[in-house]
Amino acid sequence: MSRSFLVWLLVAGLALWVHNRDRAWRALEVFEWDAGGYYTYLPSAFIYHDIGRADSLERLGDKFGPPKPRGIGIVTLPNGRVISKYPPGIALGELPFFAGAHAFAKLMPRFPADGFSKPYQQAMLLAGLTYGILGLWIVRKLLLRFFDDRTTAWAVAGVGLGTNYFNYITNDAAMSHGALFMWQAALLYCTVRWYETFRPRWAVGMGFFLGVAVLCRFTEALYIIIPLAWGITSWAALRQRSGLLLAHWKQLTTAAAVGAAVVSLQFLFWRTVSGHWVVDSYGVEHFDFWHPHVLYGLFSYRKGWLLYTPLAGLMLLGLFAAWRRLPAVVVPTLVLLPVVLYVTFSWEAWWYGGGFSARPLVSLYPLLALPFAALLAAARRWAWAGRAVLHTAVVLCIVLNLWQTGQYATGHLLYDKNTRELYFSRFFESPHPFFDRFH
């Protein structure tokens, strides 16, 4: 059995353990904030039979009693109908899990088949966990195309345990990021395979997975840069790219049509509930491209990506090694990364509410796993001291991430508005949740 497979099993098993740890199951807790907004399409459509009543969760809060669910992002339209401000992509991904939970609730009278009781909460957390673990499997499969099993094992461990990805398949699995991680991993894998073979099925895969990602979060459209720029390694290759794409225009047109068909579900929904093809569901929330907060997004104690996820720094450092070991990934990363950072941190609420580290950047990890693996592979030729330093750094990043994920789950690391003083004063305060079972 390969090392990388064992590491993947370790991540999956540890995530499942944390995911299944005892919960208070306070009524509606899983469906507060963004997770509730993503999910509310399903009970509205299949239980309450009105896709224009996204406030079914809020109204049901009267049944459960206080506290009611908060911040689920419902918007009342001029015609009186109520929708979620979030796109429906995550709900589509959750549909099989919702169906299973609904069937279970109908068979078990002690659980109301109302769309929000304990089985539904557990099912939505399981959905995020499942998609995240499948995404890591795809990343492993992709890495093995370019690197040996040992290097892949280290890379899978780093991405799976050393980044905030782990939080978003466990504590916050009902959020969108586990699913987005998988869609972007699948897009990347299809891109690599298409450039290797130019087979139509991989082109269709590119269109489908990009379309699903966009239907989950509109800014995921930026990741079209990956299939457009993959494999550009020189000025000559750049000049030839347009000709290569034109030579396969039929496949790419099919890919675009598949992606457009998926994204069109959003416009059809808007048209059905409002009478208009486009609805500004975010209202006063907006991007401010003149005043981005990139430095805050990277380094602040409030939500700094490189502060709370320092392994991301090793991923970026791997771009130097990738120039020699996997040059095909360098240009897509160098083009995509600054665009994603600029757009992400131009949102007026650049910290994106509650969460651990910079959660919108989890979508980057499948791509960044490649330069990270290139760095690990390059280290195989270093002196033993250099290898020891790098591997020690990876292990420390994993330990730090797991510790802080636990602090975030227990409330000792604030999910928002953290400061330098609070960060250091509370760093050693709480036991990690992993140890709670032994108390």
Largest CA distance in the chain: 69
Q: What is the model's pLDDT at position 12?
A: 83
Q: What is the pLDDT of residues 417-427, one digit of tens each?
A: 888 998 888 88
Distance CA(240)–CA(236), nearest Å, equals: 6
Examine residue 100 and state whether it is found in any structural domain, yes or no. Answer: no
Distance CA(168)–CA(136), nearest Å, equals: 13
Examine residue 77 and state whether it is found in any structural domain, yes or no. Answer: no
Each of the 439 residues of the chain gets a pLDDT tens digit; together they read: 688 888 888 888 888 777 666 454 455 678 888 888 899 899 999 998 888 877 776 666 555 554 556 677 888 888 888 888 999 999 999 999 999 999 999 998 888 888 888 899 889 989 999 999 999 999 999 999 999 999 999 999 999 999 999 999 998 888 999 999 999 999 999 999 999 999 999 999 999 999 999 999 999 999 999 999 999 999 999 999 999 999 999 999 999 999 999 999 999 999 999 889 998 888 788 899 999 999 999 999 999 999 999 999 999 999 999 999 999 999 999 999 999 999 999 999 999 988 999 999 999 999 999 999 999 999 999 888 889 999 999 999 999 999 999 888 888 888 888 889 988 888 887 655 444 443 3
Q: What is the model's pLDDT at position 21?
A: 60
Examine residue 164 and state whether it is found in any structural domain, yes or no. Answer: yes
**Domain hosting residue 160, numbered range:** 3-9+123-438
Examine residue 180 and state whether it is found in any structural domain, yes or no. Answer: yes
Examine residue 238 and state whether it is found in any structural domain, yes or no. Answer: yes
Distance CA(170)–CA(164), nearest Å, equals: 10
Q: What is the model's pLDDT at position 438?
A: 36
Distance CA(224)–CA(205), nearest Å, equals: 13
Examine residue 418 and state whether it is found in any structural domain, yes or no. Answer: yes
Domain count for the chain = 1
Q: How far is CA 175 from CA 94, 127, 435, in A?
A: 11, 10, 25
Examine residue 429 and state whether it is found in any structural domain, yes or no. Answer: yes
Distance CA(90)–CA(176), nearest Å, equals: 6
DSSP conformational letter for 148: -
Distance CA(118)–CA(15), nearest Å, equals: 20
For residue 75, the surrounding DSSP H or E stretch is strand 74-76
Amino acid in the structure at residue 427: F
Q: What would the DSSP string read from start to end of 221-243? A: GGGGHHHHHTT--SHHHHHHHHH
Chain centroid to Cα 27, Å, comes to: 25
Helix extents (H) in 25-148: 33-39, 41-46, 56-64, 89-107, 118-143
Q: What is the model's pLDDT at position 112?
A: 85
Examine residue 117 and state whether it is found in any structural domain, yes or no. Answer: no
